[in-house]
Amino acid sequence: MYDHRFAKVKDFWFEIMIALDSDFAFQDDLIQEKIFKGGKYLTYDTSLSQLVSSWMKVNQYVSANKIASGNHQWVEVWKLNNWRFTEKGIMIMYPLV
């Protein structure tokens, strides 16, 4: 993982979450399962082609409305269907206080 300066780091500032069916069982030792602790979020549905501009829109909205950021993680939720990559169905989640 890389930070916003593209320096390689061990600790990273966001995660990409892949939403799976609740009965899905991992069969790959390289994949780690994590329980999402959650929190209060500002959410925005987008697509892969609009992902970067969507984050910019959320940041502009937050800045213009003086919304405080929470200390919990930022998230992108990618909804996959049978592990097939999707062009649509991505939700970005900005942490709120």
Q: What residues make up the domain containing 74?
A: 13-20+39-84
Cα dihedral sign, 29-10-45-41: positive
For residue 67, tell me if it sits in a domain.
Answer: yes
Q: How many domains is the chain partitioned into structurally? A: 1
Q: Give me the mean pLDDT over the 50-78 stretch.
A: 90
For residue 8, tell me if it sits in a domain.
Answer: no
What pLDDT, on a 0 to 100 scale, did the predictor assign at position 9?
61
For residue 54, tell me if it sits in a domain.
Answer: yes
For residue 93, tell me if it sits in a domain.
Answer: no
Q: What is the pTM of this model?
A: 0.67
Which pLDDT band, with edges at 50, 70 and 90, does 1 fall under? very low
- Identify which has the larger pLDDT, 76 or 36: 76
What pLDDT, on a 0 to 100 scale, did the predictor assign at position 62?
94
Q: What is the pLDDT of residues 10-49, one digit of tens each?
A: 665 566 677 777 777 777 787 777 777 778 999 999 998 9
Share of the chain above pLDDT 70, in %: 81
Would you say residue 89 has pLDDT above 70?
Answer: yes
For residue 57, tell me if it sits in a domain.
Answer: yes
Would you say residue 56 has pLDDT above 70?
Answer: yes
